[in-house]
Amino acid sequence: MLGQYLSKLILELDRAQFSLHIYLPCIYLNDLAKLCSPEQSCFVILYADDILIISPSVVGLELLLHRCELELIWLDMAINFKKSCCMRIGPRCDTAYANVCSITGHVLHWVTELRFLGVFIVRSRNFKCSLDAAKRSFYRAANAIFGKVGRIASEDVTLQLLSSKCIPLLLYGLESFPLSSLTDSL
């Protein structure tokens, strides 16, 4: 029933020459977001093709992973387990972990740092983000500008290039960081 409806919708949109890649993922992935509720203390955060699953326990995480995996299988989509991982944040972040397995038998690896939407989140007792990658990108871009421009350009041109090309690399996602006294001294 749903397949027939979507086939007709796709044909109509194709005739009208609309772009389908914008609308159809929203239709499909909306059901994934409905799998959880704040009352259960588990969350599914979706942005484009990135999915972040948050659960207070490893067992809850595995159950939520299975529900997401079944929903994606129903949509004829799959999880890329090479890019998937687990990380624990909280007072017991250093304790041994049970393996999280998917329905298909893939084991998710536990990591100390993960990247979600360009922001590096670090395993710790409190929510923490790492600025190391942003600093590396900033210095790489600044050194490239200095290497190409050198002493040829005026100070104003060099500062404008740094301001427009390098500073955004350093500031990307900074509003999501809980800044402490250590990271304030950038």
Q: Which amino acid is at 52?
A: L
pLDDT band at 117 (very low <50, low <70, confident <90, very high): confident
Taking only the tens place, the pLDDT of each residue in 8-62 is: 545 554 454 444 444 445 555 666 666 666 677 778 877 777 888 888 888 888 8
Residue 139 has pLDDT above 90, yes or no: yes
Q: How far apart are CA 17 and CA 11, in angstroms?
A: 10
Report the share of the chain in percent with pLDDT over 90: 6
Mean pLDDT of 143-162: 87
* Res 136: pLDDT: 92
Kindly report the number of other CB atoms within 10 A of residue 103's CB atom: 13
pLDDT band at 143 (very low <50, low <70, confident <90, very high): very high
Name the packing angle between helices 58-74 and 20-33 (round to 10°): 140
Please, what is the average pLDDT of the chain? 77
* Res 67: pLDDT: 86
